[in-house]
Structure 1
Amino acid sequence: MPERDPRRLAAWAAAGVVLALLSAWYLTRSRPAADAAPPPAVATIAAAREPTAEPDAARGARVVVDVSGAVKRPGVYQLTTTDRVEDALERAGGPTRKADLTALNRAAKLEDGRQILVPTRGRPATAAAPPASGSGGGTGAAPSGPINLNTATLEQLDTLDGVGPATAQKIIEYREQHDGFKTVDELDQVSGIGEKRLATLREKVTV
């Protein structure tokens, strides 16, 4: 058997090593990139997208205001301290066509117990102040002179003998629907006021 040349064997071995290295390099280059990191949990995404709840303090405390005068639905409404006079007017159905809004600050913030009196064009408005702090929660004493049926507030009408809050509200609604009272005798057209009650009120009211 012929003797093998050691130099030739070494050359073949070196060639094999080079071939193995080239194969390993090729496999490394052709291997796909590592999988991307998994997306964040669905719950985490949902929590990130969910809007932050508004603190209760930002909504403002509740207030009760009396909206009367030239509005479509006069009455007492609950709103918040962050609301404005304009919001109270909207709750009352909005102003009537004969309402005079020039003397009304519709951007003012609301205060608890405030009366918002919307005057009628051509008639003087009676300013209504917020309730005084301290003792006393009633409507106060009756005015010393006759009450003007066309400008009186619900509280002022309520001080008249035989006129409660419900009848006072009807008087306000009547004057808005009929563009005010022309005479005191028109009171007998208001539901709840008859001849006897009108006789007791005639000297206590005016137009």
Structure 2
Amino acid sequence: MVVDVGGKVLRPGVLTLPAGSRVADALRAAGGVRPGADLTGLNRARVLSDGEQVLVGVPGMPSGGAGSGAGSPGGGAPAVPLSLNTATVEQLDTLPGVGPVLAQHIVDHRVEHGGFRSVTELREVNGIGERRFADLEPLVRP
């Protein structure tokens, strides 16, 4: 799989890692994090998805990196499509029609199935019907 690691790492860039690699593996492959980088909120044990971006210690970005979908200032819909594979319950809760319970269902589905390979898999989540899927489809990515 291919991931993009950036921010406060020693060798940022696009890396090829074995399937099933975790955030910690990507950080090691990027030469490790720079001294003083804030890793609070970065789940180093999380399994990565192909095409994901991991940003470390970038001001104004959520701890999971841009790949997790940065919310727009002042709330509302995300400024960029939110990653179903990296977004937290709190980030998913910002999507229209998604509350904390549905956000947790999305995260649970992600964990149980090893991540989302396409946005259409969102339809398999308990509580997401055709109308809600239609509303969410342009706001999210795998």
**Equivalent residues in 2 for 1:129-140, closer than 5 Å:** 129=63
In 2: Cα distance, 1:201 partner to 1:126 partner: 24
1:177 aligns with 2:118: no
- Partner SS, residue 138 of structure 2: coil
Deviations 1:2-57 (A, max 9, x none): xxxxxxxxxxxxxxxxxxxxxxxxxxxxxxxxxxxxxxxxxxxxxxxxxxxxxxxx
Aligned residues: 97
What is the correspondence of 1:107-186 to structure 2 with a 5 Å cutoff? 115-117=41-43, 118-122=45-49, 123-125=52-54, 128-129=62-63, 141=75, 142-186=77-121
1:130-177 per-residue CA deviation (whole Å, 9 max, x = no partner) reads xxxxxxxxx952421211111222222111011011111111121122
1:34-73 superposed matches below 5 A: none
Q: Which has the larger radius of gyration?
A: 1
1:199 aligns with 2:134: yes
The aligned counterpart of 1:54 is none
Scaled by the length of structure 2, the TM-score of the pair is 0.54
Secondary structure of 2:115's counterpart equals coil
C-alpha spacing 1:172/1:116, structure 2 compared with 1 (3 Å): same
Could you give the per-residue CA deviations for residues 99-149 of structure 1, whole angstroms, max 9, x where no partner exists? 4334499xxxxxxxx6453431344346645xxxxxxxxx95242121111
Conserved? CA contact 1:126–1:153, under 8 Å? no
Q: 1:165/1:126 Cα in 2 relative to 1: closer, same or farther (>3 Å)? A: farther
Checking the alignment, whether the CA contact within 8 Å between 1:119 and 1:125 is kept in structure 2 is no
Letter in 2 for 1:158: D
Alpha-carbon displacement from aligned partner over 1:154-203 (angstroms, at most 9, x marks no partner): 22211101101111111112112212112211111111111111111111
CA shift in 2, pair 1:206/1:148, >3 Å: same
Instruction: Give the secondary-structure state (helix, strand or coil) at the position aligned to 1:101.
Output: helix
Instruction: Point out where structure 2 has 5 or more consecutive residues left out of the alignment.
Output: 1-19, 34-39, 57-61, 64-72
Identity of aligned residues (%): 40
Give TM-score scaled by structure 1 length.
Answer: 0.39
One-letter code of the match for 2:53?
Answer: P
Decide whether the 8 Å contact of 2:78 with 2:95 is kept in 1: no
CA contact (8 A) 1:161 1:201 kept: yes
CA RMSD of aligned residues (A): 3.2
SS of residue matched to 1:202: helix
Match of residue 100 from structure 1:
23
Q: AA paired with 1:182? A: R
Distance 2:46 2:136 in 1: 23
Kept in 2, the 8 Å contact 1:126–1:152? The answer is no
**Aligned partners of 1:140 and 1:203: how far apart in 2?**
20
